[in-house]
Amino acid sequence: MHEFYLKNKARYKKSADKMLRFAAPELEKITNRSYSEVFDEIWKHYESNMLENFPYIGGDEVSGTGNLTGAYTYVSMGEVLKRYGVSVEDSAHIMVLSYERKTEKIPRIVRKIMVKLFIKPKLLNRIFLKKDAKNAANAAKNPGSFVTQTQIPPEEGYQFSYHNLYCPLSEFAHKYGYEEYMPYLCNLDYVMFGVLGAPLYREHTVFSDGDYCDFKLNTQAKPMPYWPPVFLQGRGFK
């Protein structure tokens, strides 16, 4: 286990508990056990299989670390739920409910500010160009971290777009055999953007296409429903 994760293990346990507790009723119902018992199982799996193997990609200084550690909390949940006969798709529905409820807890004033940002492409471009530079500098020091590229002008039909050129979540899935979860983890982006009222569209992912993940906003449209997962809706989006 990298020293960064070892040092912050207690904090990650608290964060995982907070996130999964949003779906405590569903976890108790589907396992017929108390939430604390189920969480203990999930944490043991996460500690041994995720924290033990996570690459160091910049720590708390980069947003990608939180993406990696948070997403794989749900993967550990799915792996534990398999012991109770729960399918990956049913686990993914619990992921959606948990993440939806978590996002809905963002203070209303913050959500309003974020929604206003989504309709100001020029401001978004400035913000994300700075993010691109920060990610590039981090990737130079910590290979395997996120690399992003804001698209100027944006792709046709959209007011804003950027690409993820490298995804450590996808790399980890391929390396440790969690590929079946990746499309559902990608779908969580639609949950977050959907709750915030931002119409996200994506036709490429690093995981399925091997090139990039495209994040595109069409502020003249309505957010797509995120359950069933977007990639199963037959509309060509992932």
Q: Flag whether pLDDT at 151 surpasses 90.
A: yes
If we measure between CA atoms, which residue out of 133, 131, 124 comes closest to residue 152? Answer: 124
pLDDT digits 0-9 by tens, 16-54: 999 999 999 999 999 999 999 999 999 999 999 999 999
The helix/strand/coil state of 96 is: helix
- Which residues share a beta bridge with 162? 150, 215
pLDDT of residue 116: 85
What whole-number distance in Å separates Cα of residue 111 and Cα of residue 118? 11
Q: Angle CA(180)–CA(199)–CA(216) in degrees, nearest 5? A: 70
State pTM to two decimals: 0.96
Which amino acid is it at 43? W
- Which residues share a beta bridge with 213? 164
The helix/strand/coil state of 37 is: helix
Residue 183 confidence class, pLDDT cut points 50, 70, 90: very high
Which amino acid is it at 63? S
Please tell me the chain's helix, strand, coil percentages from 3-state DSSP, rounded to the nearest 5: 65, 10, 30
pLDDT digits 0-9 by tens, 86-141: 999 999 999 999 999 999 999 989 988 988 888 889 999 999 999 999 999 999 99
Residue percentage of the chain with pLDDT more than 70: 100
Burial 200-226 (b: 16+ CB within 10 A, else e): bbbebbbbeeeebbbbbbbeeeebeeb
Strands of 160-166's sheet, edge to edge?
147-150, 160-166, 213-217, 200-201
Tokens 């100027």 map to which residue? Answer: 152
Q: What six digits make up the tokens of 84?
A: 């109770």
Q: Which residues are CB-neighbours of 126 under 8 A, at least 6 positions away? A: none
If we measure between CA atoms, which residue out of 104, 101, 94, 55 comes closest to residue 73? Answer: 94
What whole-number distance in Å separates Cα of residue 78 and Cα of residue 91? 5
What whole-number distance in Å separates Cα of residue 22 and Cα of residue 192? 15
Burial (CB < 10 A; 0-12, 13-18, 19+), residue 175, is exposed
* Beta-sheet pairing, 213-217 with 200-201: antiparallel
